[in-house]
Amino acid sequence: MGNLKALFIALVSNIALANSVARANFYADTFFNWGYQNTAIWGDGDNLALILNNVSGSGIQTRKQYLFGSIEMQIKLVEGNSAGTVTTYYLSSTGEKHDEIDFEFLGNLSGKPYMIHTNVYAQGVGNREQQFYPWFDPTSDFHNYTIHWNPSQIVWFIDSIPIRVFKNHENIGIPYPNQQAMQAYSSIWNADNWATQGGLVKIDWSNAPFIARYRKLKLRACEWKGQNSIYKCASSTPNNWWTSSEYSQLSYAQMGQMEWVRNNYMVYDYCKDTKRFNGDFPPECYQQPN
């Protein structure tokens, strides 16, 4: 009886811990890192708006740093003519040799699809871009965007559907972001020098303000508490759910979902850009995506 009671208490404690980490609040868990005058938070901290006008854009970042886990939020992108605007959602460390995992949403003219731009940096080196058109209207409703990051792989999800995987191939000399803590960031800004058709389409300020809306931030991740966190967050323990074997690779169903997205909605893949690399692709391009 005593063992059962102890087991029950441990189970309840683990559930409480997981929920406390998962639940986040824009008031308590983030701060404005620029353009605070172009922001709004409401609904007990569950809702956020980032605004771009001809004076400034705006941005937030999490107060804490994390190493591995799952960061997610629901985003409703700028409606109407969003050409020249970029809305971002990404994880990043600091410093010259920083790590970074990107979602960037490149606006377009009314009636034209958004471009979903993804990238990953390891030790300051990126150049691993993949781009997709959404299979839905990202401006008409909220959609869930998740970055899942563990010692084995990084997965970009939209509404629980994986669109991209970047595996840990350190064993063949490919850098992988697993030594630096990252914070989560979101912003909206003027990028009309490059974002829409290579900068040919500029922002129409008569449509300002441009508003990106966010809600339901979840920080299901390992909080960074110094260099010891490298071992702590990567250890295979019950609390570190992201290190369990089921998250080391996609399931067969998820692989099918990703293949569907990539076959039908992928616009650009650096691993297929023969002009850029002249056939000498980065080594991870020769590995299986999962």
Q: What are the pLDDT digits (tens) for 34-92? A: 999 999 999 999 999 999 999 999 999 999 999 999 999 999 999 999 999 999 999 99
CB 238, CB 85: distance < 8 Å: no
CA 246/CA 239 separation, integer angstroms: 14
Using a 10 angstrom Cβ sphere, with 0-12 exposed, 13-18 middle and 19 or more buried, the burial of residue 12 is exposed
pLDDT above 70 for 157: yes
Domain positions in the chain are 21-286
To the query of whether residue 246 is one of the catalytic residues in this protein, the response is no
Q: Mean pLDDT across the stretch 13-31? A: 66
- Provide the pLDDT confidence category of residue 10 given band limits of 50, 70 and 90: very low
pLDDT above 70 for 7: no
CB 36, CB 60: distance < 8 Å: no
Q: What are the pLDDT digits (tens) for 210-248? A: 999 999 999 999 999 999 999 999 999 999 999 999 999
Angle at alpha carbon of residue 29, lines to 24 and 31, rounded to 5°: 140
To the query of whether residue 104 is one of the catalytic residues in this protein, the response is yes
Q: What is the pLDDT of residue 22?
A: 66
pLDDT above 70 for 17: no
Which of 72, 79, 96, 100 is labelled catalytic?
A: 100
Query: Which one-letter amino acid corresponds to residue 280?
Result: D
CA 117/CA 72 separation, integer angstroms: 17
> Looking at 31-45, 186-200, 261-275, which range is the least confident one?
186-200
Residues in the chain: 290
Which of 72, 79, 96, 104 is labelled catalytic?
A: 104
* CA of residue 244 relative to chain centroid, distance: 21
Q: What is the pLDDT of residue 290?
A: 61
> Looking at 14-18, 144-148, 243-247, which range is the least confident one?
14-18
Q: 21-286 — its CATH code?
A: 2.60.120.200
CA 267/CA 235 separation, integer angstroms: 37
How high does pLDDT run on average in the chain?
Answer: 91
Q: What b/e sequence results for 79-114 when a residue is b if at least 16 CB atoms lie within 10 Å of its CB, and e otherwise? A: bebbbbbbbbbbbbbeeeebbbbbbbbbbbeeeebb
pLDDT above 70 for 280: yes
Q: What is the pLDDT of residue 194?
A: 79
Q: What is the pLDDT of residue 154?
A: 98
- What are the CA-CA distances from residue 155 to residues 9, 38, 72, 145 (Å)? 33, 31, 12, 11
Considering only CA atoms, which of 66, 65, 102 is closest in space to residue 86? 102
Q: What are the pLDDT digits (tens) for 84-135? A: 999 999 999 999 899 999 999 999 999 899 999 999 999 999 999 999 999 9
CB 65, CB 181: distance < 8 Å: yes
Identify which has the larger pLDDT, 14 or 185.
Answer: 185
Pairing verdict, β 130-132 and 100-106: unpaired
Q: Mean pLDDT across the stretch 149-176? A: 97
Q: Mean pLDDT across the stretch 7-19? A: 38
For the chain, give the percent of residues with pLDDT over 70: 92
Q: What is the pLDDT of residue 46?
A: 96
